[in-house]
Amino acid sequence: MGRAIVLFDFDGTLADTFESGAALINEFAVKFGYKPLDFASHRNLSARELVKLSGVRWWQIPKLVRFFRRESVNRADRIKPFNGIEDMVKRIFKVCDMGILTTNASQTIGRFLDNLQLEKYFCYLRSNVPLFGKSRALRRTVRMLKQHYTYILYVGDEIRDIEACRKVGLPIVSVSWGFNSREILAAHNDSVADSADELAQKVLDRVIEGLSK
């Protein structure tokens, strides 16, 4: 039997950063000249649609992403995991390897994992992925990981994750507790988990099935 690895998104999947992230973005709206948004009312919108709604210019995005990454590092110790995430990680670890691929900064992820004593469960980290460059990052990561793994699965909370995985031909399990609503995720993906326990079971089922082929 081969080996498998599960790659997780960070914000909205492992880490409960929705409210703090939305507050952070709105806090600097005046400084950077875009509209503050009620993110909770727009969970059916994609990241691209929210950017358009906020009035952010596309050329501003790289600068804004870098700024918010730095801010997230300063606030990393306030980030909490979603309910059941720690047990989910330990359960999946018994069967396969795990990694993280995210737009967030490596320092933020490192401090989050260290605070929860979860760093030893993750063998791969790719951070600072461009906001709209996830498919390219996934393609490069998959190409490298295929040298060591016969099955690779991604877990994320956004339409953006589903679209990126589809471009790469990578299977994905979505979680309903993050950035996008369950309704819109289910319209794009037939595998959506509503709790950490359900996510662990879906991931393990997909891994076992994938390795048996």
Closest CA to 193 of 19, 39, 9, 42: 9
Q: Which residues are catalytic?
A: 9
Residues 102, 182: one domain? Answer: yes
Please report, for residues 121, 132, 166, the alpha-carbon distance to residue 125 in angstroms, rounded to integers and kept in the order given. 11, 18, 21
Q: Give yes or no for residue 37 having a pLDDT over 70.
A: yes
pLDDT digits (tens, 9 = 90+) for 95-131: 999 999 999 999 999 999 999 999 999 999 999 999 8
Residues 45, 131: one domain? Answer: no
Residues 93, 11: one domain? Answer: yes
Residues 111, 169: one domain? Answer: yes
pTM of the model: 0.93
DSSP state at residue 70: H
Out of 77, 92, 121, a domain closes at 77
Out of 39, 61, 77, a domain closes at 77
94 burial (CB, 10 Å; 0-12 / 13-18 / 19+) is: exposed
Please report, for residues 26, 73, 131, 171, 173, the alpha-carbon distance to residue 68 in angstroms, rounded to integers and kept in the order given. 11, 9, 12, 29, 27
pLDDT digits (tens, 9 = 90+) for 137-181: 999 999 999 999 999 999 999 999 999 999 999 999 999 999 999
In this prediction, residue 131 carries a pLDDT of: 85
In this prediction, residue 62 carries a pLDDT of: 86
Residues 150, 185: one domain? Answer: yes
Q: Which amino acid is at 203?
A: V
CATH code for the domain of 110? 3.40.50.1000
Which tokens in the block code for residue 126? 């790719």
Residues 99, 142: one domain? Answer: yes
Domain count, the chain: 2
82 burial (CB, 10 Å; 0-12 / 13-18 / 19+) is: buried
In this prediction, residue 21 carries a pLDDT of: 82
Tokens 């359960």 belong to 91
Neighbouring C-beta atoms of residue 23, cutoff 10 Å: 11
DSSP state at residue 11: B
Structural domain boundaries, residue 150: 4-16+80-212
Residues 108, 174: one domain? Answer: yes
In this prediction, residue 1 carries a pLDDT of: 67
